[in-house]
Structure formats: C-alpha cells, structure tokens
Amino acid sequence: MKILKLFPADPFLAPDEVTCARIVDHIVSLFPDREVDDGLSPLPQFIDCGDSLERVVCPLCGAELDSEDWACLMDSQYGEYGFDSLDVTVPCCGGATTLDKLMYEADCGFACFEIDVIEPRTIPKGLTEELNKRFGIPFHSIIAKV
C-alpha cells in the first residue's frame, strides 16, 4: 500500500486548528475518492517512509548509522508527546546535528502536522508548491510503502 504524506517543512510548525482544517479540506478536494487522515501534535513526530527506508547517513562525515545507533538517537530525544528536541550528537564522528538533518534514504521527516492520503491514484504536479502558495506554509511530501 502507498501513502502520500504531506507535512510542513518546519518540524516545529503547528498550524492553528482552523488552518489545519482548511488544508485538510483542500487535500480532500484534490483526492475526493481517497481516504485522507490528518494529525496535529504539540511536538514533532517522525514521518516515516515505511518499508522504503534503506539507510540513514550522517550529514557531517557520510558514515552510515547502524539501526541501533539511529534508534538510540531517536529514543534520546523522544518525550511523552513527541520529540522535545531534534538536537543529537552522532556516534560516528561525534559531531552535533539534528535528527531532521540526517540523510534518510528514502525520504523521511519530522512534523507537528501531517496529512496522509491513502493509495493516491495520481499526485498533482507541484502539489507542495501549491500548498505553500495557498497557505503560506512550505510543505514536504513523501511516499510511504507499507
């Protein structure tokens, strides 16, 4: 199954409920025959790509993080309601970076607001740019395979 995941580029941006509803309504109008789910959280959540995730690479030294190290980094910043901070020290080179700056293959992200379109048949070209123009919020999109 494929899921189109749309979320603000700024991991800590949580639009107000009225704006969220307007964005969701717009997405529903673009995908009228598809299930659309949304979520709003006080803190960033991990937006994963499902089974597509191949590896995670350090942006500082280019080393691949093993799954245990990556899980420890994620766990170290996850609190009761989400990621309290994205700041981490990577074990490969000891450098300071953030979880959202790690290089995920395939794409992943972090966000307080997420919209999922289940099994989209087609995805309008320039969708994230259109959302930015319409709502003043830069968006990212990923396709998750689950």
> pTM above the 0.85 mark?
yes
In this structure, how many other beta carbons lie within 10 angstroms of the beta carbon of residue 97? 17
Amino acid 16: pLDDT = 95
**For residue 145, what pLDDT is reported?**
93
Domain of 64 in residue numbering reads as 54-105
DSSP string, 77-98: HB-SSSBS--EEE-TTT--EEE
Measure the CA–CA gap between 125 and 123, rounded to whole angstroms: 6
| pLDDT on residue 97 | 98
Cα–Cα distance for residue pair 110/7, rounded to 1 Å: 8
Tell me: do 65 and 31 sit in the same domain: no
**Same domain, residue pair 99 and 131:** no
Structure token digits, residue 30:
């673009």
- Strands 87-89, 96-98: pairing kind: antiparallel
pLDDT tens for each residue of 73-93: 999 999 999 999 999 999 999
Question: How far apart are the C-alpha atoms of 19 and 84, rounded to whole Å?
Answer: 23
Q: How many domains does the chain have?
A: 2
The least confident of 48-52, 57-61, 88-92, 97-101 is 48-52
CATH assignment of the domain containing 43: 3.30.70
**pLDDT score at 117:** 99
Q: Which helix (H) or strand (E) holds 7?
A: strand 2-8
Average pLDDT over the chain reads 97
